[in-house]
């Protein structure tokens, strides 16, 4: 809200400042004011800092500060950081936290160098400005934030693979999750010969959904004059592929989302809700959760008493956790969508897209975010916050204490279906 944070030196209203701060720390990318037009360089740096902290994760960042200040981690902080980074052994927390920081900085640096070189050489932007733009978009990409310093996001670079490819690589790697990246690194160094079940499910589901998204967007929008129809075939493939991958919660767009066909918006809704990999910079219910429920359904259809995935048996508590995450997400998006329909004049396609984008911390929008009332924007703030924390974490935080039952009730089976 400080005057120095705005371009014209005035105080930004508290709802706009809160919305932008939440969107930054939750690495969402939804905006109610034009980022390069409203915010000064100082304001943009505040956004950039929040994106970086949000991408690391609050407990990861706090653990890093603990390591730097005291050179050790207390047991409570180790447990919290282990939960956030999906670390199973407390003794590995410090190594994992430092690994998260190292991977983030290395990927962001490589992406920034590629973008800076292209902007300076291909668009004749002064080196200093090109470096600033490259660093900002690299951090935003790897952390799946979707904030851009161009008013039209990346539409101006829709057919430029030298800009689109580095950004795609950054947000895909960030969206896969740090556990997957660490395991791939160990496998490359021959420290681990067999891939774990988690990495096989994550990579398989992520790849399948990426293919579905790219084919759907290119196929549906190919002749739409307001989106892909204006480009040559190669340009259509580049722009369409980027737009099909960005619902993995990246949030950048190379097409005018508001001009896309309703079928494309619906496909994007589903992809945004699913999101990316666990313990990474992506949001959504996570591709692993989606895949696990698919395996549960397959086992039920086959009449199998247990769920087997790639040669492994899934424990029953995994089903309950996956169902809780999915149904909580569906309920939150439904409630927010219904409320927004009641208090705003916008149609269902736009409102559902907005609510799903906020919950999945994606940042894509049909263009109605800035036109929502303050009440509507505050609803999106809550959705972004809950979506970043995760439904289970949020529900657990609301619970005063755990209650253990010392008895059980008689069993009775209702009719299902």
Provide mean pLDDT across the span 176-201: 79
Q: Which residue has the higher pLDDT, 63 or 185?
A: 185
Provide mean pLDDT across the span 64-68: 51
Q: With a cut of 50, say whether residue 89 has pLDDT above it.
A: no
| Range in 79-93, 118-132, 185-199 with the lowest mean pLDDT | 79-93
Task: Provide the pLDDT for residue 90.
Answer: 42
Task: Provide the pLDDT for residue 82.
Answer: 54
Provide mean pLDDT across the span 19-36: 94
Q: With a cut of 70, say whether residue 81 has pLDDT above it.
A: no
Task: Provide the pLDDT for residue 379.
Answer: 96
| Range in 4-8, 134-138, 290-294 with the lowest mean pLDDT | 290-294
Task: Provide the pLDDT for residue 128.
Answer: 95
Question: What's the mean per-residue pLDDT of the chain?
Answer: 86
Provide mean pLDDT across the span 170-180: 86
Task: Provide the pLDDT for residue 59.
Answer: 53
pTM of the model: 0.87
Read off the pLDDT band of 303 (50, 70, 90).
confident
Kindly state the percentage of the chain with pLDDT values over 90.
59
Give the pLDDT confidence of 92-126 residue by residue, as tens digits. Answer: 566 777 777 888 899 999 999 999 999 999 999 99
Q: With a cut of 80, say whether residue 278 has pLDDT above it.
A: no
Task: Provide the pLDDT for residue 72.
Answer: 54
Read off the pLDDT band of 69 (50, 70, 90).
very low
Task: Provide the pLDDT for residue 366.
Answer: 93
CA distance 105 to 103: 6
Q: With a cut of 70, say whether residue 257 has pLDDT above it.
A: yes
Q: Which residue has the higher pLDDT, 414 or 88?
A: 414
């Amino acid at each position: 809200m400080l005057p120095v944070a705005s371009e014209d030196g005035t105080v930004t209203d508290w709802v706009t400042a809160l919305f932008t701060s939440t969107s930054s720390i939750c690495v969402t990318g939804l905006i109610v004011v034009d980022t390069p037009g409203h915010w000064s360089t100082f304001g943009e740096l505040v956004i950039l800092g929040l994106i970086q902290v949000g991408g690391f994760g609050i407990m990861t960042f706090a653990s890093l500060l603990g390591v730097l200040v005291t050179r050790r981690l207390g047991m409570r902080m180790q447990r919290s950081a282990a939960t956030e980074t999906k670390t199973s052994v407390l003794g590995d927390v410090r190594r994992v936290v430092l690994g998260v920081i190292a991977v983030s900085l290395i990927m962001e640096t490589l992406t920034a160098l590629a973008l800076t070189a292209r902007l300076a050489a291909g668009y004749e932007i002064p080196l200093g400005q090109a470096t600033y733009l490259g660093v900002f978009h690299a951090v935003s990409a790897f952390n799946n934030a979707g904030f851009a310093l161009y008013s039209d996001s990346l539409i101006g670079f829709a057919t430029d693979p030298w800009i689109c490819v580095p950004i795609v690589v950054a947000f895909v790697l960030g969206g896969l999750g740090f556990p997957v990246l660490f395991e791939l690194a160990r496998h490359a160094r021959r420290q681990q010969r067999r891939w774990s079940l988690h990495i096989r499910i994550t990579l398989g589901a992520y790849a399948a959904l990426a293919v579905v998204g790219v084919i759907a967007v290119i196929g549906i929008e190919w002749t739409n004059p307001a989106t892909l129809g204006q480009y040559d075939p190669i340009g259509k493939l580049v722009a369409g592929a980027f737009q099909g991958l960005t619902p993995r919660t990246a949030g950048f767009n190379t097409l005018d989302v508001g001009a896309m066909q309703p079928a494309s918006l619906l496909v994007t809704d589903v992809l945004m809700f699913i999101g990316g990999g666990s313990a990474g910079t992506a949001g959504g219910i996570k591709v692993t959760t989606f895949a696990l429920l698919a395996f549960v359904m397959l086992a039920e259809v086959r009449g199998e008493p247990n769920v087997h995935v790639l040669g492994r048996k899934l424990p029953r508590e995994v089903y309950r956790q996956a169902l809780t995450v999915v149904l909580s997400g569906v309920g939150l998006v439904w409630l927010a969508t219904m409320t927004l329909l009641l208090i705003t004049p916008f149609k269902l396609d736009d409102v559902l897209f907005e609510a799903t984008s906020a919950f999945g911390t994606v940042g894509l929008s049909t263009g109605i975010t800035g036109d929502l009332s303050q009440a509507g924007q505050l609803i999106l703030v809550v959705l972004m916050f809950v979506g970043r924390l995760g439904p289970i974490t949020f529900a657990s935080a609301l619970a005063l204490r755990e209650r253990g039952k010392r008895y059980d009730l008689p069993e009775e089976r209702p009719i299902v279906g």
